[in-house]
Amino acid sequence: MGYLYRTDFSLVKRLVGYNVPEKTELPLDRPLGSNLDYLTLPSELKISIFAEGLKDPRVIVFDPAGRMLVSETKEGRVVALNDKNKDGKVDEITTVLENLRSPHGLAFYTDKYKKLFLYVAETNQVMRYDYDVSLGRVLEATKKNIANLPPDGQHFTRTIAFGKDFRSKPLLPEDLRGSVYSDIKLYISVGSSCDACEESTWKRAAILEADPEGTYTAEFAGGLRNSVFFTFHPETQEMWATEMGRDNLGDDLPPDEVNIIRVASSEQKYGARRFGWPFCYGNKIRDKKFKPPKFERIDIPQDCSQTEAPIIEIPAHSAPLGLAFITSDRWPKEWKNDLLVAYHGSWNRSEPTGYKIVKFDVDKNGKLSGTADFVTGWLDKNKIFGRPVDLKFGPDGALYVSDDSAGLIYKIEPK
């Protein structure tokens, strides 16, 4: 490795400060599901608190019985949220897994033998567990390592989801695939170890591809500084991913992004599409401040014309995280297939930005035609009331939103 920028990022944050507005504590004596009048959303919808008292809730997933599981990343835990009396509010929180290493991504998969598994992405690995859906429990003795990942770093969360195999032909020859080869792939997002640097492994600043059995791990797309969340368009099935731009270029650069992550074609000489980082950002713009004295990797283009442009540019430092397409038949028909993106909010901007959910008008072919704020009010001048993270539609057609600052799960549904 010729050039590698290393820093104790936690020390930088302590010295420089987050520049996050002061957090306003919500009234502790509020009734569950009330006191959200500081939030503004479309008149057709209502919002309530589905669960509270969580510690750093991040990724939301639903098991086949409709039970919600949530990763509490800083606590090293995965919990199940149960609404036992079916009144729309959680009345029981149980621990599914604990003593994990920064668990984040969660995904369910049923194999061809109808066996159900829970996959959990920790910072250093993806583990698979047999899952008992009747009890909402895993069988820890059955755990299997599906993929080894580079741990920790500035961006330490790992997100996973199952999707179609986008390749026209399998990566592995038939004699190496094994008898369990699947047309469904497990996609894994791994952020960079730094703000802007040369990574020592192709597994960082990338979205990886594996099979459900963990036979192999490969690079699906690279040059992605921190694509914490991704999802799939309901019609085209293409992968859409949020992307956080680098720091230290001022208040307004570079833009954060939403990218469509397509499989590499024969024209891509690197074997996977490149989305710019660390040399380029936005619409193929060269980062003039990143000038390492030496850069040895030949699979990272320094020519921005060889990189992919985003489908959406987002104001710098908005910190886009969860994203979801509106597919629920309960919601207004004119919103069908529109995209919602959670802006977690800035920590290093002179005037804070983000702290909201934004809607992008998207047609069935994935073409954009407009944008508007969807849920606002978490930021009020110099105070914050929360920071939205993941967006997931539940089996009931409601949108559930995790908030790792307030420790809440919100429920948004038609009136």
| Domains of the chain, first to last | 9-171+180-414 (2.120.10.30)
Nearest Cα neighbor of 315 from 381, 241, 365, 371 is: 371
Q: Model pTM?
A: 0.92
The answer to whether 104 touches 121, Cβ cutoff 8 Å, is yes
Q: Residue-wise pLDDT tens for the chain (415 aa)?
A: 333 333 344 443 333 334 567 777 765 555 554 589 999 999 999 999 999 999 999 999 999 999 999 999 999 999 999 998 888 899 999 999 999 999 999 999 999 899 999 999 999 999 999 999 999 999 999 999 999 999 999 999 999 999 999 998 877 776 666 655 678 999 999 999 999 999 999 999 999 999 999 989 999 999 999 999 999 999 999 999 999 999 999 899 999 999 999 999 888 888 899 999 999 999 999 999 999 999 999 999 999 999 999 999 999 999 999 999 999 999 999 999 999 999 999 988 889 999 999 999 988 777 888 999 999 999 988 889 999 999 999 999 999 999 999 999 999 999 9
Supply the DSSP symbol for 40.
Answer: B
What whole-number distance in Å separates Cα of residue 337 and Cα of residue 325? 5
CA 58 to centroid of chain Cα atoms: 9
Q: Closest Cα partner for 117 from 58, 209, 208, 184?
A: 184
Q: What is the number of alpha carbons within 13 Å of residue 302 lying toward its C-beta? A: 11
Place of tokens 């069988």: 139
Question: For 47-58, b where at least 16 C-beta lie within 10 A, e where not — what string?
Answer: bbbbbbebebbb
- Between CA 410 and CA 415 the distance in angstroms is 15
